[in-house]
Structure 1
Amino acid sequence: MSVGAQLSVTDQRRATRHPVDYPVIAEHNVRGDVQLHISNISAHGFMVDNAEDLNRGDRIIVRLPVVGRIEAYVIWVRDERAGFQFERIIRLDDFDAMIDTLQPNPKLRRRR
């Protein structure tokens, strides 16, 4: 029997990723509160650039503006970076409102 998250990853790498600079305290299911820094985000997931001691399949819960609490799973880890997949896709209107909050520079936002 396998341990950890059972992830079904489709090719979501083409999803538009928005650069952000967002520190967050994540709730890790084993390690408790973990400080992470989100450096880019999409409707499907996000990347952090300080992924100390995270492993593929780890589950965390983060609190994001507009969206609130959302669960995410580690999909990949490389050096100090890690990619997460949300347990659900964020609705487009909520995602756009969240990006407006996280990315104040309109030149870096996706065109609507």
Structure 2
Amino acid sequence: MATPGGRSMPRYATAVRDARGEPRDEVMHRTHALDADGQTVKLVLVNMSANGLMARCDGDPAAGDRLQIRLPILGPVDAVVRWSLGGRIGCELERTIPLGEYYTMLTLMARHS
């Protein structure tokens, strides 16, 4: 598959991009998560949707790890790390955040950033 610049794109890169499928909202929110051992992992949320997020982190969670991420309004939310690269992680939330709560949460994040 060719990119707009004419370069060839690996097939797996297209699959990852297409699988995400929903737009993300840019955020800058400091929070933390608990890993499976109960250890605290500091996070800075970079972008999110009602189904997932990307964050910078101080730990080294690996793909497949489960985290309990603290989010405004919602409190602890269960998530699975889908990828980890250079101090950044992508997580899929275990449950979709209802849109009303999601947009209220984004509003609070914007006020406290």
Indicate the TM-score class for this superposition, using the shorter chain for normalisation. 0.7 to 0.9
Structure 1 counterpart SS, 2:26: strand
1:30 correspondence with 2:34? no
* Residue aligning to 1:52: 59
Structure 1 counterpart SS, 2:57: coil
Greater per-residue helix proportion = 2
Q: Aligned partners of 1:101, 1:85: CA distance in 2, in Å?
A: 21
Q: Aligned partners of 2:58, 2:99: CA distance in 1, in Å?
A: 27
% identical equivalent positions: 32
Q: Is the 8 A contact 1:12 1:44 kept in 2?
A: no
Q: Kindly report the root-mean-square deviation, in angstroms, between the aligned alpha carbons of the 2 structures.
A: 1.9
Measure how far apart 1:67 and its partner are: 1.8
TM-score by structure 2 length? Answer: 0.75
TM-score by structure 1 length? Answer: 0.75
Q: Aligned partners of 1:66, 1:102: CA distance in 2, in Å?
A: 10
Measure how far apart 1:12 and its partner are: 4.9
Structure 1 segments of 4 or more deviating over 6 A? none
* Residue aligning to 1:95: 102
Q: Aligned partners of 2:46, 2:27: CA distance in 1, in Å?
A: 5
Q: Aligned partners of 2:94, 2:108: CA distance in 1, in Å?
A: 22
